Structure 1
């Protein structure tokens, strides 16, 4: 019997025996504290990886063919998920995700082991058919090698879904290596969004089916609570929902608060309470605004054309998809795609063509300090929201920032030298010394020395999917069944594009 499980048990006993309390970490300085958190995180991820592999074996021994002799049944549980949940004391969702990732790794390993055996033993090769490599093999291997964590792998698998529509197994196999590489430094929520965007990019038929399904499942419910308050809930398809969100954002925007209230947020003693009070005030104002909007809408003359100055939803689509009807578009501030067919009716409301490249019409150089409305629309299309790597603020909450400061650096009011930042990040960048550098079409965030003494550049990614801005020539896409094409930087031994020097 291997001695690995006893080693794990010994590690667990050593950790349990440690007397750890909040006071353990108080004496540490910032750098030491963060180092401890990172080391504990590495340990947790390694434990989860081993746990997923072990759980996969539990699932194998609990398979339906074993019946009452299966491991789960013999221990008094209905299935593997219930058994794992009872051991880990986790939620049902977490237990199912752990089992799923473990089985994904096990199936990948089993197919690879059988293929290796067929190559090494001619007798096995003659008597055993070639194994079917699962389409998620690249993801299973990435977890086994520690490239991505168990949680990120589960998020990727969930975001991609199962083969179907235009996203058959061959298409998913071709897309996985690049997706895994993109997600190696992302947290689980960002990885799930990236996987959903990948699925939408290759499965236009699925986008159409989802849009129809969403329209079918819309609802709005209202009821009276026992205390007399009227409560409601709704679910709307993306375009209708984002219109409602645009109205809500206008009614709750931080700029609607007076300057004195906003300054109070920085008070060390009362800042949290003032922020909570301000939030309650904004939400109360939004409720009153909703009622006023409903009154105005209910009383409007149906024969009258409404004012053009109204909350709107901006839809982004590239010219190629619009001309051919093939592909998808996106709603500004929303993570999912929409069919091209749903975009055409909106063109009657008005549209603004935006061309990236020479930028001559939209570049103002040193003639103007402030970005124009058309420039901001172009930045909205390009950036898709706040460009800070950890921020998810929508475009409506952002401001245009000169990456080369107007006074200090002689910055230019050109598209290439501007990015979108939410108000909070914009102030933080200026006040704390964060810098943004551009190399070609890529932007890098440079932390101040107090945050990172090495000032290691951090990649800033647009929230707008890349294929919306730059349609891919179909002839350049990998053929079904063809091996994935490695990235150019991989040949140089790099995991990501070279970072700019500071």
Structure 2
């Protein structure tokens, strides 16, 4: 390990800890000046100068400022941890926080930053988890989470990402194998440097379930104990519903409401089919050119639907209640709805391990998956078996329900951004009409509407296999065109990929 350097009397005024800040600040200054017009730039406020920047220059400034912010957060976390160490209970009333007039170090840091106590707690927790330790002999030891510490110092991950990873590892460290925890930590740090915080959260949940399989069911019981539904009517007569549901309780509610919402959105979209023979409704792929005529089988509502998504969801909940009270038959959109619970065969057999519900990010225990399978009359099936023709070639244009299930197993939602699987559509990689692309799994990918448009507009290429999806950027985004991994493989944290 590199030994700390002693500052000599004639050393520069800036310590090594501040050199990175000075370097990043200088780079930010250069980026800011370079983003301004070469001639005719007018100096003024930050907003006024930002309005004069070109798009490329503005993004360089944003990137530089983000890096500087990560640098400041990492340094602040180190100092917050030191404040906490000097405020320990062993110091009593002479501890740093109490000597400064604060009940604890969290309040001291919150007052210093002007932020919330939650933000102060995050700084302290990350600083403590990534600080070097000292043995009884006086030797300095690595941090409890060295990979997170190194990434923080290299400014490749944010403070929030470091907090998400370290708090999970702290929860499970007594019940997990240390070597495996190191592999998972390294994989999560790599993931945090490539994806948004929301996608990282999915990887953290998956990692926790794998590191601590025995803890999934207790956490599940804790969530179930917190379930509640309150109803109140205000003075205007509006009834307010507030629900807190555990994953098992929320899954059928969410699936039913989303089925009705998707059906309403599908019917009001101009130029899209009202439904497909596979029951998925959403067209299999290509964007219709602007101005193209609608086919004979494409239906449009007589009255335009201008409801917002929250309004449609409220109407869907009311429709479900009316249907339950007065109808013995299943509504059409619900008859086509499937709630997918994904679980390994071994977990179903022995009841150990964890499972996941499509559309929800919190893992459930294998025992809950077995109970749901019994209650919901789920039919066991092996995707890709001889009884499911998953490759249709040019015989059919729309992807079947079985194909969508198989694509969901590989992509886990939008293969590009990770959008919830309830809001994605199955698309042909090679277009059905233009490229005569087949309706096969190797030519299919799940994408949300935004990513679908962006990929077509910018000229991305997609390569899919039974287990992975790779996105090849166009030269104007990445001149080297290095493939980027997509789909569920990004956050599945398989041991071979993590290593």
The question of a shared fold, defined as TM-score above 0.5 by the shorter chain, is answered with yes
Q: Are the structure 2 counterparts of residues 453 and 278 from structure 1 closer, same or farther at C-alpha, using a change threshold of 3 Å?
A: farther
Matches within 5 A, 1:267-306: 280-299=307-326
Q: Tell me by how many angstroms 1:336 deviates.
A: 1.7
Distance 1:29 1:131 in 2: 48
Partner of 1:87: 112
Q: Tell me by how many angstroms 1:310 deviates.
A: 6.2
* Contact 1:61/1:71, CA 8 A, preserved across alignment: yes
Greater share of residues in helix: 1
Distance 1:400 1:166 in 2: 40
1:237 aligns with 2:262: no
Matches within 5 A, 1:300-449: 309=335, 311-348=337-374, 349-351=377-379, 353-355=381-383, 361-389=389-417, 391-392=418-419, 394-438=420-464, 441-449=467-475
* Contact 1:166/1:203, CA 8 A, preserved across alignment: yes
Distance 1:305 1:408 in 2: 39
How far does the alpha carbon of each residue in 1:380-402 deviate from its partner, in whole angstroms, 9 at most, with x for none? Answer: 2221211113x42x323222122
Matches within 5 A, 1:127-138: 128=137, 135-138=144-147
How far does the alpha carbon of each residue in 1:303-349 deviate from its partner, in whole angstroms, 9 at most, with x for none? Answer: x9999826442111122222232221110111121111222233341
SS of 2:462's partner is strand
Structure 2 residues not aligned, in runs of 5+: 1-6, 30-42, 273-289, 291-303
Q: Are the structure 2 counterparts of residues 235 and 139 from structure 1 closer, same or farther at C-alpha, using a change threshold of 3 Å?
A: same
Partner of 2:4: none
Q: Are the structure 2 counterparts of residues 159 and 342 from structure 1 closer, same or farther at C-alpha, using a change threshold of 3 Å?
A: same
* Contact 1:382/1:464, CA 8 A, preserved across alignment: no
Q: Are the structure 2 counterparts of residues 366 and 23 from structure 1 closer, same or farther at C-alpha, using a change threshold of 3 Å?
A: same
Distance 1:100 1:361 in 2: 52
Partner of 1:257: 268
Structure ranking higher on relative contact order (CA contacts 8 Å, 6+ apart): 2
Distance 2:250 2:170 in 1: 24
How far does the alpha carbon of each residue in 1:160-185 deviate from its partner, in whole angstroms, 9 at most, with x for none? Answer: 45136743656534532232233232
Q: Tell me by how many angstroms 1:206 deviates.
A: 0.9
Partner of 1:123: none
Partner of 1:481: none
1:190 aligns with 2:199: yes
Q: Are the structure 2 counterparts of residues 196 and 159 from structure 1 closer, same or farther at C-alpha, using a change threshold of 3 Å?
A: farther
Structure 1 residues not aligned, in runs of 5+: 115-126, 267-276, 477-484, 488-502
SS of 2:335's partner is coil
Q: Tell me by how many angstroms 1:96 deviates.
A: 0.7
Greater Cα shift, 64-73 or 158-167: 158-167
Q: Are the structure 2 counterparts of residues 463 and 174 from structure 1 closer, same or farther at C-alpha, using a change threshold of 3 Å?
A: closer
TM-score by length of 2: 0.76
Q: Are the structure 2 counterparts of residues 4 and 357 from structure 1 closer, same or farther at C-alpha, using a change threshold of 3 Å?
A: farther
Distance 2:431 2:348 in 1: 37
SS of 2:356's partner is strand
Distance 1:46 1:446 in 2: 31
Partner of 2:287: none
SS of 1:405's partner is coil
Greater Cα shift, 3-12 or 167-176: 3-12
